[in-house]
Structures are given as structure tokens and as C-alpha cells.
Structure 1
Amino acid sequence: MPAPLPSVLLSIVTWNSADSIEACLRSVLAQSHADFTVWVVDNASTDDTCALVAALAATDARLHLHALPENTGFCGGHNYTLDRTHSDAVLLVNPDIVLPPDYLAGVLAVLQRDERIGTVVGVLVQSLDEPDPVIDSAGMNALPDGRFQLRYHGRRLSEVPLRADLEDVAGADGALPLYRRRFIDDLRVEGQFFDERFFAHKEDWDISWRSQLYGWRTVLAPHCRALHPRHFRPADLRLRRRLSSTMKADAVKNQLLLLLKNPAPHQLLLTWLRALPRQAAILLFALLVERKSLRAYAYLRRHWREVWATRQQVQARAAEGWHPPVAATDAKIHQPLLSICVPCYHRPELLARALRSIGPLPADVEIVVSDNSVRDNHCEQMTRYVLAHQPVSQWRYFRNAPGSNATDNWQLCLRRARGRYVLMLHDDDFLLPNGLTTIMQTLRSQPDRYAALLFGVVVVDENRRPLRTQRVRRQHFLAPAAAVEQVLTNSSLVRMPAMVASRDACRSLGLDPSQQDTDDTDLWARLFAAHGVLRVPACVGAYTVHEAAMTTGMFDAPTVQRLLRIFQKMEATGVLTAPRLQRARTHFFHQFILAGAYRALRRHDRPAARRILALFTLPQVRELPTPARWLPARLALTALSRLGWHLPAGRLSNLLREKSTDLLLNH
């Protein structure tokens, strides 16, 4: 029996495309393979594009219009579709494309030939009426200097040696590629398939390069042909003069992004040496002729840390090679080794990023999504979309009763988990490429030896920009006393996406609801007191800090009392000597109170800063000595809160900013 045909989505992104979109859509809707859906995502067109699409959509239920309020570019528009659908295959269609009736059926048949084929591309020609048309593209070639070029552009069909059957090519032009869904999800970096920093230029080069790095095939189907009258090539200086300064700067910026992100480590130096003459000429041209393109270099200077972090993720994934599909029979195991528990609440887009970051599930891993949402079922829909291609026996979704809080959700996750170990992946955090692989290799190499394993983590802001890396230099085990001392001295020691703990150990200890927003620190302290912790240097996850969440409301006497109760519990265990426990308590509360005062002053709220500093007068805090390292900060913040001066620049401000970020976001 032949394999069933995959489900198909056609994604079209428009921007002032009224002159071509109707012909494009009529050719799309006339395909002989008629079982598909079409999404047209419009980027705030000011012409009749939306009206034309809406008129056709009224006559064909397969066609759907999604009008965005702003221009998100080629990358943002297609990501909008890819993030909200789950078809087996996706055909990207430029609005100036015209398809022959058999095009979709032809490329789908090619996609089914080999699971390793991630992309299928046909021959794009500039006329369908001529017997020997001019070729627009037949895939792309990769050049030694990090660029890609259209194969056979501008040549007649009769002049080129096209093979009769399939041909592997270096890449696919973005005008009409057919992508496998598993390929799309594999190439995502921090949740994005297309890197939205590219906006609308060279993003197909980026996908083609990553495809090669990850071991996927891109094949040309020479018998599949479509019309594409291309109007612009970046190397054409006459056409370039007509472009906006933003488009010109993007072209410069995106080439540099490619060179920074994608060359393999052993090819990085050689690729840059080959690219240097051209890049030097581009820089000189920008200095002398096209000065607004210098914005590209300014952008990279401001964002080089984020770009380098992306490179690290891409290269880590590339080191794994191609991931074969997981067979359904492989997922049938008695008990998973790891349960990835994902508590969520009304943030479906962030939830999708978290779930996609997990990647293909090994047979001994399960996912448990525990949803506290009450207003709608968007998180449930997103879960089912994103996990549709994971083995059904390896993931479960639960909708919790109204009124459940974060502590309830955590307890429910522990109750529902089947794995011997549990990883809590909050919906606003995500795993790094190779993160799950690293975790599983560590667990499998020493099963059940450790009750707690703490990996490295990258701290990122809401825009996924790396703020710092939190890791140890070498793997080592902290005995209970040392582990408790560290967690009670440094409240940011444990970041959720980096903590893997024994399910049974967590269940036996349980969460203490009376600790409220300090219940995580309380659990880790008790877990470490009982079992210690293995510190693993590899970074496996990203922990997201939210500026909006950094309020001063938690810096009050009840929170201090709850934190003091954790120290009382540790005192009762006897795991730390009295002097070590007193030293940890002293540093902890100075960090905590000074970080809160700093946050209040950043918000220009001097009364709140004075209230927070007054916590030092609480009886159990007043008896604590002021460590020498914290005395200057305490004196400075006290003076600033009383005199109304602005926060100073320099070392004091930098120190307090670091402490406030580390402490505030961990409670």
C-alpha cells in the first residue's frame, strides 16, 4: 500500500502585491493535488492586496487571509504561518509566482522519496509559454566566500545540463521551496525558523547553509517548473540605486550575519579570508558612496553578543548531524528516564518556543504540559499543534482546575510525571540546541547515582539577548553542606531549565505551600541538604528575565520571614555549622535587600527604596553584621534614597545591577 500523502500548507506573504497576487492565487487554487490549505499573510499593504485576496477567499474555503497591522518582512510573515500550523509539508509561494496545475503534486512526490530530503525546489523560469524559456533559478550554488548564487540564472533551458532525475543542490531560493515540517522544526533557533533579523534579504541563504550543516538534503526536481519573473538581483547596481536605504543596509548586515553565524569552526578562518576582499570593498563603497549602509556595522556592534550566542547554538546543533525520525515502536518503554514538565499560563507563543526547543524526543523522555490558563484554550491548541509530530505516547496535556496557582501547578507536574528524573521547563524558558542530548547523556552515564544535577544556563532578556552565562568550569559533586551553603548564599544558583532532580526525591520532600513565592529556594535547600548536587559545566537551557516583573512588591517583611524560615529549617538539619549558616544568612539578606532598594531607585521611587532599606531594622536582620563587601553599597543606597540623587554610573551601579538581576528574578 502506498504511503499516504502528507498534509500541505501553502504560505504566501504579501506587501503591496495587488498587481500579481490574483494570478498567483488562481494558479494555486487550480492545483491537481487539491487537498491543501493556503494562508496569505499580508504585511500591512496600502494597495488593494487584501481586498483581492478576500474576494477569492469568499469563493474557496481553502484560502485564508491574515492581515497584520505592521510590516514584519518576509521572515516575520512566514514565521507567523509556520508558528501557527502543523502540516506535514509547507510550500512557500512568492506572490509573483504562477504555478502550472501539476507543480504541487510533483514536488510532494519528490519529498516522499527520502526522509533526509528537507527541501524540494523546482526550476523557476521567466516564461511558461516559450519552448526554451530563460531560467530564473534552478536551486542555488554555495560560493567559497559565504555567498550563494542562483543556478543558471539568465540562461536558456537548452543551454544548461539539467539532469533528467533529481539533483542535489546547495540551497533553495526562497521564492518557491517546499519544506518538510520536521526540517522546519529542526532548523529553528530559539523558536524561529527564519531569523527575523534578516527581515527580507538573504534569509534563504541562511536556511540553505543551516540545512547543509545539519545534514539535510536539498534536491532539485527538474520536471517541476513554475513562472517567476524576478525583478531584482542584489549585485545589479542599477537596480540597487532604486532601493531604500534600509534595504541596502539590510543587504550588507545580512551577509555579515551569515559569515558570523554559519561557518563551521574548522572553516571559519578560511571562509573569512575568502570573504575579506569583497567585504572590504563593500565597506569602502559604503564609506564613499552609500553612507547609510554603515548602519549595518553599527547594528552588529550593538548586537554582537546575541549574534555570537546564535552561532554557538547553530554550531552545537550542527555537531549532532542529521536526526532520523523517531519510529513509533521506539517510544514504547516501561518508564521514561526523564519527564520534561512544562507549566504554562496564557502565553501560547512562548509555550510554542519552549516546546519546539526540546527537539525530537528520545524514546526515554516524555513531555507533560500542565496548563493553568482560565480565559481560553490557546495554550492547549498550541501544545497540540507543536507536539503533533512527536510520538503520541510520549506527551500529555493537562488543563488544571480554575484557581490553581504556580505552587499547585508544580505539585501537579510532580504527581503526573512518570520519569525517574524531572526537568521543569517554564513556558518562558527554552532549551538550547543539543541541550536535551547533553542532559540525557549525563543521566544515562550514571543512572540514579545523583538525586540532583545542576547544569549551566544562559540568562537572556525578553528579546532572547544573552545577558550572562552561568556555569561552572568543571564537573564536580557538592556534598550536602557545601551545596546548602551555596544555595543559601547565592539565591540565583538554581535556574529552572538547568535543574534536573529525582522525581521520587522531590515527591518525598514535597513543596511547602506556606513558603509561597520562596517555595523553589526552600525545596532546593532541602533537596541539597539530603542529597547534595552534581554541578555539570555544559549549558543546556536559557532562563528568561522579564524587566516588567522586576517590581519592588516582594521586598517586604512577610517575604523576609518566609526566607528566614528556610534558614531555620536548615539549622534544624544540622547540615551546616552555626558559623557557616550565619555567614550565609548575612550575605543572603544583604544581597536581597540592597537589590530591592536598587530596583526601587531605578524606578525613581525613593519612598519604596527607604521602605525596603528599613527591612534591615527587623529584629532578625538587625542582628546580622554588615559584610565589608556590602558596606559601600549599603551606605550609597541609603544616601541616595534620602537625598534624591540619581544612581551613579560606574562600578557601584554595575555591581548593583548584576545583583538585582540575579536576585529579583529568582523569587
Structure 2
Amino acid sequence: MSAASAPLVTVVALCYNHARFLEAALTSISAQTYSNLEVILVDDASTDDSPAILRRYAAAHPSWQLHLLPENVGNCRAFNHGFRQSKGEFLLDFATDDVLLPERISQQIRQFAQAGPRCGVVYSDAELIDEDGRHVRNHFRRDARGQLHPLPASGLVFTEVLARYFISTPTMTMRRAVLEELGGYDETLAYEDFDFWVRASRNWEFHLLPEVTTQKRLHPQSMSRKGYRPHDPYLASTIRVCRKALALCRTEQERAALAVRVRWELRQAIRYRNRPEARALYQLLRELRGVRPLDWLLALAR
């Protein structure tokens, strides 16, 4: 792909109190081998030194846009703010506690070209790192030959998305047309990825690039560490997305896949004594005609 024909890719870099990790994240944007980039920095009213670091990088890269939000609005609204300012044919939702490997965008744009116009999302493997940047593990398991095992779903993945988590969110690059069709992220939700996967995969293909393209940082403040705990702040949003998914299901196979997801969420809600959410999930499982004897017994004990 020549530089002249390379589509514009927008990196919406979202920051909230990422000062400790911010320089590594921003340097990884400037180190990309892909040149046709639009960079939009969005700070969600950080209370640490993040704004000062962002100003410094924006001054060093005059083409980068900097948006310092006056109040904390959450990830969905912050991303939509950047999305509305963007022009790229493809977009990355990049949390600035993570790191992009240098070939990330080049590799994924080549994958879009190979997959064709119905490919709405390319996702990849990720290296999970700790707060100090040390390797923890990869997102996907590999066999003795280094091959992904089992091979993650690729193509029309709606049924797989309903049943289980398998996509590493920070590795996704999204086609602009998908986000426009969906109206961006749902700003009424506490988090974005499950809802995006469900709504986008109904009509668009997701394709796997089986390479490590991103370092995802694990630390106590990351969103992934707050779920499935007492008073889970994201569980109410998960229930709402499951109801959206039910409305999108067309076959019994899809409904059965959603029942697998709802059953898992129900058991986590019961385990951590999130009682109102457990009742709502049990009712949804009944609507899916997916209640099993153990589900009924657990619901009695909640």
C-alpha cells in the first residue's frame, strides 16, 4: 500500500489519570510505521499530572488535537467526543495506559484490505503487562508450535460474541462506517466494548489478525479490574446490553448462546451478592428458556 493510497486512521487517545503510563503510550503513537494518522488526545478531567504531559506532547506534535474536558464524563462520552472531531476512515479507541507496538496500525490496515469492505473490525492478540511494563502473559493461548489454540472466531461472530468474551478490546481497529451506523458508543452505559461487539457484529464481520499488536496494562485502576466484584459498577450496563442482544437474536442458536452469557453473569452476581442484578439476570434467563436446575437452586439461595 503506497503512502498516497493509505487511508486516514484516527487514534482517539483517551486519558484519565494515566500520568504514570502516559509517556510510553504517547511515544508508541509517534513510533507507528503507518504515516497517515490523525491523533486526537482527549483527557477526561484528570486530577493528576496528565494534562501537563498531554500539553507537552501536543506542542511537540502540532498536528495532534488536544481536548481537555472540563468534567469527567466517562469513557463512552469521552470517546464519542473524539469520534465527532475525527475524519479517519478507521479509528482506534486507545486507552493511554496501554502501548501500541510499532507495526500495529500498518498490520491491521493491511488486514482490512485483505478482508474486504464488510470487515468492520480487525482485532489481534495482546501482551498483558504489569504496572512496570513486565510481561505477564498473552491474551490468547498458543500451542507448542506457537499457533493460537483454540483459534478465535473470525468473520461473522455475532453468536460467539453473545456467548463469551474473547476479543481483547485494546487491540481493535474499527471502520468508521460501523461507528456511524451505530451512532458511536451508547453514552448511557458504564462501559463500551460488550455493547459495541453485540451491535456491530450483527451486520459486520470481525477479522482476527493473529499477531501481538498491543501491550495491555494490568493495574488496580484499570476498568477490567473493577468487574465481577461486590457492587460491580458495570453489571447494570451488562444487563442492559444482554436485553439489547435478545432483541437482535434471530435464531434459537443465537438465543442459546446468549443464555450461556446470561448464566455466567448470573452466577457472578450471586457469588458477589449483587442481589437486584441477580434477580434481573434470572428473569432474563427465564425469558430465554435457558434455566437449568442449578440456576434455579442458586437463584433460591441468593
Q: Structure 2 length normalisation: TM-score?
A: 0.76
2:75 corresponds in structure 1 to 406
**Residues 1:513 and 2:187 are matched in the alignment:** yes
**Residues 1:351 and 2:22 are matched in the alignment:** yes
1:581 corresponds in structure 2 to 254
Q: Distance in 1 between matches of 2:153 and 2:47?
A: 45
**Residues 1:570 and 2:245 are matched in the alignment:** yes
**Residues 1:468 and 2:137 are matched in the alignment:** yes
Percent identity of the aligned residues? Answer: 19
2:36 corresponds in structure 1 to 364
Give the one of 110, 114, 117 matched to 1:441. 110
Gaps of 5+ in 2: 141-147
Give the one of 75, 94, 100 matched to 1:431. 100
- Give how far 1:370 is off: 0.8
Mapping of residues 494-643 of structure 1, within 5 Å: 494-510=167-183, 511-514=185-188, 516-547=189-220, 550-551=225-226, 552-555=229-232, 559-560=235-236, 562-574=237-249, 576-578=250-252, 580-595=253-268, 609=272, 611-612=273-274, 615-618=277-280, 619-621=282-284, 623=286, 624-626=290-292
Mapping of residues 242-281 of structure 1, within 5 Å: none
Q: Matched residue of 1:463: which SS?
A: coil
Q: Distance in 2 between matches of 1:573 and 1:538?
A: 31
Cα deviations across residues 560-618 of structure 1 (Å, max 9, x unaligned)?
4x4343233333334x413x2332233223333444666xxxxxxxxxx3x23775444
2:126 corresponds in structure 1 to 457
Give the one of 88, 109, 124 matched to 1:419. 88
Q: Distance in 2 between matches of 1:501 and 1:443?
A: 10
Cα deviations across residues 371-417 of structure 1 (Å, max 9, x unaligned)?
112547x4343234446665x33x22112232433221011121122
Q: Distance in 1 between matches of 2:195 and 2:22?
A: 26
Cα deviations across residues 532-552 of structure 1 (Å, max 9, x unaligned)?
211221121122233456342
Q: Which amino acid aligns with 2:155?
A: L
Q: Distance in 1 between matches of 2:213 and 2:231?
A: 29
Q: Which amino acid aligns with 2:264?
A: Q
Q: Distance in 2 between matches of 1:406 and 1:374?
A: 12
Count the aligned residue pairs.
Answer: 281
Higher mean displacement: 530-539 or 354-363: 354-363
User: For the structure 1 residues 554 and 529, does the alpha-carbon distance in structure 2 shift closer, same or farther, using more than 3 Å as the test?
Assistant: farther
Q: Distance in 2 between matches of 1:346 and 1:592?
A: 29
Q: Distance in 1 between matches of 2:285 and 2:242?
A: 16
Give the one of 478, 485, 491 matched to 2:159. 485
User: For the structure 1 residues 345 and 489, does the alpha-carbon distance in structure 2 shift closer, same or farther, using more than 3 Å as the test?
Assistant: same
Gaps of 5+ in 1: 1-329, 599-608, 642-667
Larger radius of gyration: 1
User: For the structure 1 residues 477 and 347, does the alpha-carbon distance in structure 2 shift closer, same or farther, using more than 3 Å as the test?
Assistant: closer
Cα deviations across residues 119-175 of structure 1 (Å, max 9, x unaligned)?
xxxxxxxxxxxxxxxxxxxxxxxxxxxxxxxxxxxxxxxxxxxxxxxxxxxxxxxxx
Cα deviations across residues 24-55 of structure 1 (Å, max 9, x unaligned)?
xxxxxxxxxxxxxxxxxxxxxxxxxxxxxxxx
Q: Distance in 1 between matches of 2:267 and 2:7?
A: 44
2:10 corresponds in structure 1 to 339
Q: Distance in 2 between matches of 1:596 and 1:357?
A: 38
Contact 1:459 1:468 in 2 (8 A): yes
User: For the structure 1 residues 569 and 340, does the alpha-carbon distance in structure 2 shift closer, same or farther, using more than 3 Å as the test?
Assistant: same
* Higher relative contact order, structure no. (Cα contacts within 8 Å, ≥ 6 residues apart): 2
Contact 2:154 2:206 in 1 (8 A): yes
